[in-house]
Chain A
Amino acid sequence: MRTILAGLPGLAAATATAPAMGTGEVWLFWILAPIAVLAALGMLVAKKAVHSALLLALVMFCLAVFYIAEQAPFLGIVQIVVYTGAVMMLFLFVLMLVGVDSSDSLVETLRGQRLAGLLAGAGFAALLMGGIGSAALGTRAGLGPQSASRNVVDIATLLFTRYTWAFEITSALLITAALGTMVLAHRERTAPRPTQRELSEQRFRSGGQLTPLPAPGVFARHNGVHVPGLLPDGTPSELSINKVLAARGDIRSGQELDTPGIAASTEEEK
């Protein structure tokens, strides 16, 4: 907080009593702050969910650097390990499961919503900046210097003494989250699990594909998963390729591979 505010022009008087900021810190701030803000804005307007998630990770990373620069190494590291590392990666896994390419329509159907949103946001930001900017910051106890060496110890002490109760109660939050996940995602079986015998009987009765599916790339010019395998008569087998890939349009058909251009490129790849 101190760094950010101190970095704003026109606050020199207010920060007079606070320890002066080093040149490196100033440079750090003015490089990372625009990146963080732009990334945050980009997260909002990005069309694809993956881009949003990655930009969010970037914002969090910038924040982590600020924390460390603010002599709060523990917080900075936790920010990177937990948020940028674990939580964001979980996000990405989920997005992969849902489908990387799924994207929301960004067409605004409500008339005036965007404009009003921008105005309200800008107004709110202006109020906060004006208000906080005019605040006298010099002697705030909350902004006093912390000894770097005591950082982890102080956090631990607070967590296990003053804030034990809040810390313990947080566990209720975690249990609730776990229970909620179960409730929303876990589907109980209504019928007993079919045995292997029942499964195979069912397969034969339904009369579908009895043998294992043909593998992709067999006898084809290319052995990638996106190239259908060829049957003995030379026709490509639709069964050999993944439906998801087919839906995404990433399949090279036999005809395509026959065209000289493509053939040439595949030759090159080899």
Chain B
Amino acid sequence: MSPLTSSVLTATIQAPKIEYSQVAPMLIVLGAAVLGVLVEAFAARRLRYGLQLGIALVGLLAALVSVALLAGAHHIVAMGAVAVDGPTLFMQGSILVFAVLGVLTMAERSLDPGGTAFAAQAASVPGSTAERDAVGAGIMQTEVFPLTMFAVSGMLLFPASTDLLTMFVALEVLSLPLYLLAGMARRRRLLSQEAALKYFLLGAFSSTFFLYGVALLYGYSGSISLTGIADAVSGATGGDALLLIGTALVSVGLLFKLGAAPFHSWTPDVYQGAPTPLTGFMAAATKVAAFGALLRVLYVALGGVRWDWRPMMWAVAILTMVVGAVVAITQTDVKRMLAYSSIAHAGFLLTGVIATSRAGLSSVMFYLLAYGFSTIGAFAVVTLVRNSGGEATHLSQWAGLGRRSPLVAGIFTLFLLAFAGIPLTSGFTSKFAVFSAAMAGGAAPLVVIGVLVSAVAAFFYVRVIVLMFFSEPVGDGTSVVLPSALTTIAITVGAAMTVVLGVLPGWFLHLADQAAVFVR
């Protein structure tokens, strides 16, 4: 008997202990996703839409309830892989709420005469007879729902991971379904497929940076758990190239995901090409997950070397804000403009991250919540403005919208004002919160730049408002289509929360403040 076999035989492995109640939100969403796959396999086609929508919504709401039940938890579970603490729960709650709204908009069937915003059959070649037949037969790609649920489960795990390996797996779990979904738009399919491919290639590229960074951090500290790295950092006397390069590369991977310059170039193309309801969901929820992970890595693992990464983050934040706001000005497509606006917002959020304080954490969490509601609402409004070719996203087609549909234009104006950070909207409160956190964190020049950039950004939001209300309508058949209850609920919730978080944000700010402590 060789030594190898003998050691295998003598080895005893302690059974792993998983605290199922603590990871319940993820388990529920994963369960709903798997159930959705089974429905695809076994349920009759005409039943699938209703079943999938029901499973997705029930799953998400159940997960939301379990998040609420976990409130106050503060420990590391699942063999040290998952942190269940304030930030995790706050962000999981945000992601789940956005997922509910996102699923509602994705399930909308009354806007496009063909069905949902997703292709009838993603496998059919654009423009082919097979595609026409599929549209004619009323086929619907209901796999969208389980894919979304998988993405959500990855997002739930991403900000909760306490080691870089779990975080990497979560990153892939959240990304892969999104790559797929981005290529499944019903209209302008080639644009959508191109976007998906770009997203996939660049996403894979950024993943390699992340992974290389993980390897270097492991090489530095001998551990891939965040606390292990933190211990190594605090134990070391001086900095080490491995640590610094690892920090840089892990940051690159995460900054890509949240769309920070110079890793933002995928954002406008993907936001424009992807089906609009998905874009809204992605913009809101992915940002939460990515910022959650970035905050955890930077605060828990690399808090000790913050003096090293802060200058780099300063530069990234400034570049992101400036690029987002400045390039947005010359955009002529609503979705691209909102994409650049999301880049600019990522920059504003980074100023809060740089604060490296409890206030920074809580303000970023609040900002993410506020921004997500407005973003989902804004993209949902974009789905309503249509002409015979689908969504009318060119800005010139939005001219005079305020006279034809004052309500829709008014709601969109509310979202734009929130993006611009006008008082009494959530945008103001959240910007105020991150800027004051950054100010207290010693980043005053960054705040000054942030305020100036906000002014530039306000210009292009106002331009759209002016265009909607003070311009002559163009007569190219663009009109506002009346949505069903699904999209209506999403827009209403988005608008209501935009106002509530602007007028009476006290409770939410308090909640974010209470939640802003990482378990270590």
Chain B minimum-CB-distance residue to A128? B245
Tell yes or no: B277 within 8 A of A by CB.
no
Q: Write the nearest CB–CB distance from B7 to chain A, whole angstroms.
A: 5
Chain B minimum-CB-distance residue to A150? B7
Q: Are A161 and B16 in contact (CB under 8 A)?
A: yes
Q: Write the nearest CB–CB distance from A56 to chain B, whole angstroms.
A: 15
Chain A minimum-CB-distance residue to B138? A190
Q: Are B146 and A169 in contact (CB under 8 A)?
A: no
Work out how many contacts link A and B, with CB atoms closer than 8 A.
146
Chain A contacts with B in 113-132, Cβ cutoff 8 A: 127-128, 131-132
Q: Write the nearest CB–CB distance from A175 to chain B, whole angstroms.
A: 6
Q: From DSSP, what is the main secondary structure of chain B's interface residues?
A: helix
Tell yes or no: A90 within 8 A of B by CB.
no
Partner pick for B169 among A141, A144, A169, A179, CB 8 A cutoff = A169
Q: Are A141 and B221 in contact (CB under 8 A)?
A: yes
Chain A contacts with B in 154-185, Cβ cutoff 8 A: 156-157, 160-166, 169-170, 172-173, 175-177, 179-180, 182-185
Q: Contacts A157-B11, A172-B153, A175-B150 hold; do A183 and B241 have CB atoms under 8 A apart?
A: no
Q: How far is the CA of A141 from the CA of B225 in the complex (A)?
A: 14
Q: Contacts A132-B241, A169-B166 hold; do A153 and B223 have CB atoms under 8 A apart?
A: no
Tell yes or no: B44 within 8 A of A by CB.
no
Tell yes or no: A100 within 8 A of B by CB.
no
Q: How far is the CA of A188 from the CA of B172 in the complex (A)?
A: 28
Chain B contacts with A in 218-263, Cβ cutoff 8 A: 218-223, 240-242, 244-245
Tell yes or no: B407 within 8 A of A by CB.
no
Type the 1/0 row for A138-153, where 1 means its CB is closer than 8 Å to any CB of B. 0011111000011011
Tell yes or no: A186 within 8 A of B by CB.
yes
Q: Write the nearest CB–CB distance from B48 to chain A, whole angstroms.
A: 12
Type the 1/0 row for B1-25, where 1 means its CB is closer than 8 Å to any CB of A. 0011001100101101010000100
Tell yes or no: A191 within 8 A of B by CB.
yes
Tell yes or no: B63 within 8 A of A by CB.
no
Type the 1/0 row for A183-197, where 1 means its CB is closer than 8 Å to any CB of B. 111111011000000
Q: How far is the CA of A67 from the CA of B129 in the complex (A)?
A: 51
Residues of A within 8 A of B184 (CB): 183
Q: Write the nearest CB–CB distance from B391 to chain A, whole angstroms.
A: 22
Residues of A within 8 A of B82 (CB): 165
Most buried by B among A142, A144, A176: A176
Q: How far is the CA of A132 from the CA of B169 in the complex (A)?
A: 26
Q: Are A166 and B169 in contact (CB under 8 A)?
A: yes
Tell yes or no: A86 within 8 A of B by CB.
no
Q: Are B222 and A187 in contact (CB under 8 A)?
A: no
Q: How far is the CA of A165 from the CA of B245 in the complex (A)?
A: 28
Tell yes or no: A135 within 8 A of B by CB.
yes
Chain B minimum-CB-distance residue to A182? B143
Residues of A within 8 A of B147 (CB): 176, 179-180, 183
Q: Are B3 and A172 in contact (CB under 8 A)?
A: no
Q: Are A175 and B34 in contact (CB under 8 A)?
A: yes
Q: Are A184 and B122 in contact (CB under 8 A)?
A: yes
Q: From DSSP, what is the main secondary structure of chain A's interface residues?
A: helix
Q: Write the nearest CB–CB distance from B154 to chain A, whole angstroms.
A: 7
Interface size of A by CB at 8 A reads 45
Q: Contacts A140-B219, A166-B81 hold; do A187 and B130 have CB atoms under 8 A apart?
A: yes
Q: Contacts A131-B245, A152-B8, A182-B143 hold; do A190 and B165 have CB atoms under 8 A apart?
A: no
Pick from B87-95, B100-108, B173-181, B499-507 the stretch touching chain A.
B173-181
Q: Are A162 and B79 in contact (CB under 8 A)?
A: yes
Chain B contacts with A in 125-140, Cβ cutoff 8 A: 130, 133-134, 136-137, 139
Tell yes or no: B124 within 8 A of A by CB.
yes
Tell yes or no: A1 within 8 A of B by CB.
yes
Q: How far is the CA of A127 from the CA of B81 in the complex (A)?
A: 32
Chain A minimum-CB-distance residue to B170? A169
Tell yes or no: A134 within 8 A of B by CB.
yes
Chain A minimum-CB-distance residue to B130? A187
Tell yes or no: B311 within 8 A of A by CB.
no
Q: Write the nearest CB–CB distance from A97 to chain B, whole angstroms.
A: 16
Partner pick for A187 among B13, B124, B157, CB 8 A cutoff = B124
Chain B contacts with A in 438-496, Cβ cutoff 8 A: none
Q: Contacts A128-B245, A157-B11, A166-B166 hold; do A186 and B123 have CB atoms under 8 A apart?
A: yes
Q: Are B218 and A142 in contact (CB under 8 A)?
A: yes
Chain A minimum-CB-distance residue to B124? A187
Q: Write the nearest CB–CB distance from B13 to chain A, whole angstroms.
A: 5
Q: Are B123 and A1 in contact (CB under 8 A)?
A: no
Tell yes or no: A246 within 8 A of B by CB.
no
Tell yes or no: B141 within 8 A of A by CB.
yes
Residues of B within 8 A of A131 (CB): 241-242, 244-245
Q: Are B222 and A142 in contact (CB under 8 A)?
A: yes
Q: Contacts A166-B166, A190-B139 hold; do A153 and B7 have CB atoms under 8 A apart?
A: yes
Q: How far is the CA of A209 from the CA of B413 in the complex (A)?
A: 66
Residues of B within 8 A of A164 (CB): 16, 18, 78-79, 81
Q: Contacts A153-B8, A153-B11, A161-B16 hold; do A141 and B146 have CB atoms under 8 A apart?
A: no
Q: Write the nearest CB–CB distance from B6 to chain A, whole angstroms.
A: 8
Q: Are B180 and A180 in contact (CB under 8 A)?
A: yes
Q: Are A187 and B121 in contact (CB under 8 A)?
A: yes
Tell yes or no: B33 within 8 A of A by CB.
yes
Residues of B within 8 A of A160 (CB): 13, 16
Q: Contacts A131-B245, A161-B79, A172-B33 hold; do A142 and B221 have CB atoms under 8 A apart?
A: yes
Tell yes or no: B37 within 8 A of A by CB.
yes
Chain A minimum-CB-distance residue to B224? A142
Type the 1/0 row for B203-230, where 1 means its CB is closer than 8 Å to any CB of A. 0000000000000101111110000000
Partner pick for A149 among B7, B124, B176, CB 8 A cutoff = B7
Residues of A within 8 A of B154 (CB): 169, 172
Q: Write the nearest CB–CB distance from A154 to chain B, whole angstroms.
A: 9
Tell yes or no: B80 within 8 A of A by CB.
yes
Residues of B within 8 A of A162 (CB): 16, 79-81
Q: Write the nearest CB–CB distance from A77 to chain B, whole angstroms.
A: 13
Partner pick for A163 among B81, B146, B153, CB 8 A cutoff = B81
Q: Are A185 and B176 in contact (CB under 8 A)?
A: no
Q: How far is the CA of A162 from the CA of B134 in the complex (A)?
A: 47
Tell yes or no: B30 within 8 A of A by CB.
yes
Q: Write the nearest CB–CB distance from B70 to chain A, whole angstroms.
A: 16
Q: Write the nearest CB–CB distance from A229 to chain B, whole angstroms.
A: 34
Tell yes or no: A264 within 8 A of B by CB.
no
Q: Are A161 and B157 in contact (CB under 8 A)?
A: no
Contacts A141-B222, A164-B79 supplied; 7 other A-B pairs, CB < 8 Å: A140-B222, A165-B23, A169-B157, A173-B173, A175-B150, A183-B184, A187-B121
List 18 A-B pairs, Cβ < 8 Å.
A131-B242, A135-B240, A140-B219, A141-B223, A143-B219, A157-B13, A161-B79, A162-B79, A170-B169, A175-B37, A176-B173, A183-B123, A183-B184, A185-B123, A187-B123, A187-B124, A190-B136, A191-B133
Name the 9 nearest CB pairs between A and B, nearest first.
A141-B222, A142-B222, A131-B241, A165-B81, A190-B137, A190-B133, A165-B78, A164-B16, A135-B241
